[in-house]
Structures are given as C-alpha cells and as structure tokens.
Structure 1
C-alpha cells in the first residue's frame, strides 16, 4: 500500500479532512495535502516529513529490519509444573523483631516444582513471607519476599569448606518477635546472630537461648522489591 493510501485511510478512521488534521497537529497548510493529491503532482515525502505526518495522525513510523508480526503461540503450563507456596501475612523483621498477630495466609506464589526439588525443598514445607527493616541489607531489603524451608529448624555446625561462604539465613521467633538473621554455631556453647548491614552489631547467644527460639526455617530464596 502506498504511503498516500495509508494516510487517506487513517484520515477516514479519524473522521478528519486534511485541513482539520493539519490544524489539529499544528502543521503548515498543505503539509499533508501535498502527499495525497490525486494528480501527477503528488509529492513523495522524505523520511523526516513522513515521520512527522505519522506522528500527527497517531501512526507508527518504522524504518529498519523486517519485524515478525506472526501470531505467538502461548502454551499454558501444566499444573504439576508449578507448586503454589502459601504467602503469610506475618512479616519477619531484619532488625530487632516484628510482633505479628495471626499467621494468616493472604495468597500463594507459584514456583517451578523442579526448581524446588533442586533446592531440596518439599513444597508442602515451603512458606513465603516478607521482610521488614534494613539490618540484612543489601542482601534482604525492606519489603522483599523470602522462601523459607520450614523443615530446616535446627542450626547445625558447618564444615570448614562451607565456612568459606556466609552463614545461612534463618527465620525465627524470639520473645514473641519474628526475625530473620544469619545464625552461626561458634562452639558447643555459643552462637552468633549476624546482620549483613555493618551498622548492626553481631549478637552472641548461649546455646540455651538459641534452643528457646522457635526456628521457623531456613531462608533459601529471596526476591528484591524495587526501591525506586
């Protein structure tokens, strides 16, 4: 289809004549008419003029490699490809603790079942919650979602090889407040409860104190929320 024919068709769609279209777009009189004349004097616009006319009429002006306009086939996933993990209303403070009321489930978040298996997580033991506070920043930011494996409720000693990596992150309840921190067993009697934010000091706790905590589970995944 010729450029002039496209413009004429668009004018019909907008129910505008040439003068109205030029006036509405603030174009000089005759700017569009010159390219749609029905005689041999029809002008062939340069790229700049063609682009300006298209912009005035709400048309896309594209000049480049051929684009694929074919239909895209959408294949819905099978139900067994994904596991729906409950999202709890409770927040887990990355600071001194967040007191939550009920552990109400407010929705679900779908994770690929094969990905959960690679993590070693049984879907029925997985839970999702949100982080509150900045003591675990930049690893965990305020509002981030975390995936918790509730089958991992014991802080175990790590091997020398694994100590090259940061200690694991746990979600736990202490004195009625829900928290999320790194916990490392130092020796038979003491544990370190650590924040990733250097402004927060490491807490050293006796074994009896850690045993009195309710370890909700080990944090295995987190998703950052944009702070912009």
Structure 2
C-alpha cells in the first residue's frame, strides 16, 4: 500500500498508540470536540474526515500536515549518509496534569473545584529512572513559608499519587480535616499523625483519633521546582 492509499484512520490509531492511547485526554488537552479523534479511528474503509478536521487532529498529535507538490526531505548531510532520521522530540516527553490549587505550607487552602491548568512536561527517561508514571502524578504549587528551606512560596511540586501509604518522615500533599490542601512532613504516632513544618517558626500539628483518619493523602513529594521571585517582596505566610 502506498503512502497516498494509507487510510488516515490507521495513521491516527498508530500515533495514538505511540502517545499512550489516552484519546480522551488528547482531545481535551487540545480543545477538540469529544470523540473527534475516536470517530476518525472508527471510520469505515472508504470514508474519512474533511481536510480541515484532519489538519486539526494532526496538530493535536504532533504530526505535520502537508498537501501540495512533492518536496525534498530536509535531512542533513549526516542523516543522508547514515540513513538515520532524527526522532520526534515530543516523544521524549510525557505530560503531567497540573491544577490551579495551591498546597498550603502554612494554614490550609481549600481545594474544592480545582481547575486543571496546562500540563507540565517531564522527560520520559527522567520519570522512568525514578519509577514514576506520568498518569499517576500531579503537579501543584506551594503557598506559604512553613516548609522553607525545603519548599518556598510559589514553588511547583510533583506528587506521586501511587505513594499514598504513609511512611513516617516523608513529605506529602494532603487534604486536611477541613478539606484544606496542604504539604507537610508526616509522622505517625500512636492513634494519630503529626504534621511537621520545616520552618521552626511554625508549630507541629497533631491529628488524633478520628481526625487522623480524615487526613487524605494526595501523594508523596518526588520533585520540586523553585520559583525565583525577582520582585523583592516578602512572601506571605
């Protein structure tokens, strides 16, 4: 079968598989209508989408869309001599969901109705080396100073949602008893939990008995990105 005869639906299906098979996530991320890609994948032989829809889907999947007179491949002399083609750089990265809720390092901030933001990209090999799965992680921001010098106001943090079983001394993003989202170093004590801050100015908090059972773990801290505030203003507590 020539390239011209290759069904567009099969090309789309193959590319979706390369990207992890999360069709609905791709459609949502690029503001495509629900089932825009899935309907193409279900297309019977002999039928197909309009060219404008094909262009939209190609852009969402990181594929080049081109119709016109034949053109030469823009390969370098080295690629021409070795026969090697540079891989798609997008394939080196995975996208992790990010939400607009801040994990409070001090007093809580309610996380109800958190809105998704643009996802954050991480290198696939970096994630793999740490045993992380992009779909099982989440990125949030930090608010407050109680976790300094480990975490600063405005920092981004990556949480592994699979690591929800508490291990004493680890840092976790949690939903506290009143529904506030926070980030603290958690220690288990008899019939309770201690929520510790890194900043000695902030007191240790105890969640005892039923209150301890109401603390819900979002995930364990596995990475943070520091926000360098150049404005000179002091971060709020």
What is the TM-score normalised by the length of structure 2? 0.57
The number of residues matched between the two structures is 144
2:227 is equivalent to residue 214 of structure 1: no
SS across alignment from 1:139? coil
The residue aligned with 2:16 is none
Which runs of 5 or more structure 2 residues have no equivalent in the other structure?
1-85, 231-237
SS across alignment from 1:116? helix
Change (3 A) 1:150 1:79: same
SS across alignment from 2:125? helix
What do residues 68-92 of structure 1 show as CA deviations (whole Å, max 9, x unaligned)?
xxxxxxx775333111111111111
What's the CA shift for 1:212? Answer: 1.0
Change (3 A) 1:82 1:123: same
What's the CA shift for 1:171? Answer: 0.6
Q: Indicate the RMSD between aligned Cα atoms, in angstroms.
A: 1.7
Equivalent residues in 2 for 1:120-135, closer than 5 Å:
120-135=131-146
Equivalent residues in 2 for 1:174-189, closer than 5 Å:
174=176, 175-186=178-189, 188-189=190-191
Runs of 4+ that moved beyond 6 A: none
What's the CA shift for 1:156? Answer: 3.0
What do residues 92-128 of structure 1 show as CA deviations (whole Å, max 9, x unaligned)?
1111101234221110111011111222211111110
The residue aligned with 1:111 is 122
What's the CA shift for 1:204? Answer: 2.4
For residues 183 and 127 of structure 1, the distance between their equivalents in structure 2, rounded to whole angstroms, comes to 19
Equivalent residues in 2 for 1:127-166, closer than 5 Å:
127-157=138-168
Equivalent residues in 2 for 1:19-38, closer than 5 Å:
none
The residue aligned with 1:63 is none
For residues 105 and 76 of structure 1, the distance between their equivalents in structure 2, rounded to whole angstroms, comes to 30
Larger radius of gyration: 1
The residue aligned with 1:170 is 172
The residue aligned with 2:107 is 96
The residue aligned with 1:86 is 97
What is the TM-score normalised by the length of structure 1? 0.59
What's the CA shift for 1:207? Answer: 4.9
